[in-house]
């Protein structure tokens, strides 16, 4: 089971960065979303694959035609929050209001109310598992927010499953969980199939990871395929490295989207 997903946000939607963290700051940045999304759609068309697109509600509100085109091409429409904030920095009430707003904006743009969700930065951690019950209460049936390894924005390394599973919330609601996949290096869980990892890791290591795994969950952003994007202001040296390494040397064709056979989350219900 190999699944391809895209998190649809603009180049400046960088988490936990003082220069881009506030939704009011975003108005100052020029959008590169339309060209980025068109590039992703072109890749999928060329490879003959369908993907799951986790869409930011703020993006759907401001670029509804771009988001509607994703649905028109037959891809799965999913939710990536409205304000792109870390879950564990919000109260339960703030999180639910953000979720509902995002679902409404995405539905207005596409005519589809998403039933799949991914938290910004995979930020459902041990201190914010209350989010799962809120998701289920609001019609979410599938979640892709679990990062079952250590991560800068938390992660949930104690999560027991390394593949699709059912999760029961405290109020006896159920969600289908599609966590990030991982391999093992020296006994440690290592994630290898996300946007930045594709730019950092050698192709041989990526190929070996795919060949050894029976389940691989991937994620990309439009900015992962945009070597001409501006530099986001305010980033620390290490975060700047993570965000931009590999853009000058790795071309989209290296990702080989057409092999192995990709599946869309919508077909796994």
State the average pLDDT over residues 134-139.
97
Q: Residue 73 has what pLDDT?
A: 96
Q: Does 35 have pLDDT greater than 70?
A: yes
What span, in angstroms and rounded, lies between the C-alpha atoms of 26 and 46? 32
Structure confidence by residue, pLDDT tens digits, 166-206: 999 988 999 999 999 988 888 888 888 888 888 888 888 88
Question: Tokens 């506030």 appear where?
Answer: 22
Q: Residue 91 has what pLDDT?
A: 97
Q: If you count DSSP H runs as helices and E runs as strands, how many of each does the chain have, helices first?
A: 8, 12
State the average pLDDT over residues 206-225.
91
Q: What is the pTM of this model?
A: 0.89
Contacts of 69 (CB under 8 A, 6+ apart): 37, 38, 41
For residue 95, CA distances in Å to 21, 98, 108, 262 come to 16, 5, 20, 32
Q: Does 242 have pLDDT greater than 70?
A: yes
Q: Residue 262 has what pLDDT?
A: 44
Contacts of 230 (CB under 8 A, 6+ apart): 11, 29
Question: Tokens 């999180």 appear where?
Answer: 95
Domain at 2-17+50-268: CATH code: 3.20.20.370
Q: How many C-beta neighbours within 10 Å does residue 39 have?
A: 14
Structure confidence by residue, pLDDT tens digits, 49-86: 999 999 999 999 999 999 999 999 999 999 999 999 99
| Sequence spans of domains, the chain | 2-17+50-268
Q: Does 267 have pLDDT greater than 80?
A: no
Q: Are 191 and 162 in contact (CB under 8 A)?
A: no
Q: Residue 55 has what pLDDT?
A: 98
């Amino acid at each position: 089971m190999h699944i391809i997903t895209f998190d649809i946000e603009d180049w400046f939607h960088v988490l936990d960065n003082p220069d881009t963290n506030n939704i009011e700051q975003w108005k100052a940045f020029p959008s590169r979303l339309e060209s980025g999304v068109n590039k992703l759609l072109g890749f999928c068309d060329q490879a003959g694959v369908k993907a799951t697109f986790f869409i930011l509600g703020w993006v759907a509100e401001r670029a509804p035609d771009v988001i509607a085109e994703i649905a028109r091409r037959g891809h799965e429409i999913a939710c990536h929050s409205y304000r792109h904030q870390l879950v564990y920095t919000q109260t339960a009430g703030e999180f639910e209001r953000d979720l509902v707003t995002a679902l409404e904006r995405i539905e207005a743009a596409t005519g589809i109310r998403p039933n799949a969700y991914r938290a910004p930065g995979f930020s459902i951690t041990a201190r914010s598992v209350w989010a799962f019950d809120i998701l289920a209460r609001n019609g979410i049936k599938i979640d892709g927010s679990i990062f079952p390894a250590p991560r800068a924005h938390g992660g949930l390394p104690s999560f027991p499953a390394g593949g699709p599973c059912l999760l029961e919330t405290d109020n006896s609601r159920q969600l289908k969980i599609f966590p990030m996949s991982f391999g093992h290096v020296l006994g440690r869980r290592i994630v290898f199939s996300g946007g930045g990892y594709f730019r950092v890791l050698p192709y041989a290591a990526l190929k070996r990871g795919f060949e050894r795994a029976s389940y691989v969950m991937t994620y990309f952003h439009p900015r992962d395929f945009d070597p001409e994007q501006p530099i986001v202001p305010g980033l620390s040296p290490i975060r700047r490295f993570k965000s931009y390494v590999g853009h000058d040397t790795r071309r989209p064709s290296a990702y080989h989207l057409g092999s192995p056979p990709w599946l869309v989350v919508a077909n796994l219900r």
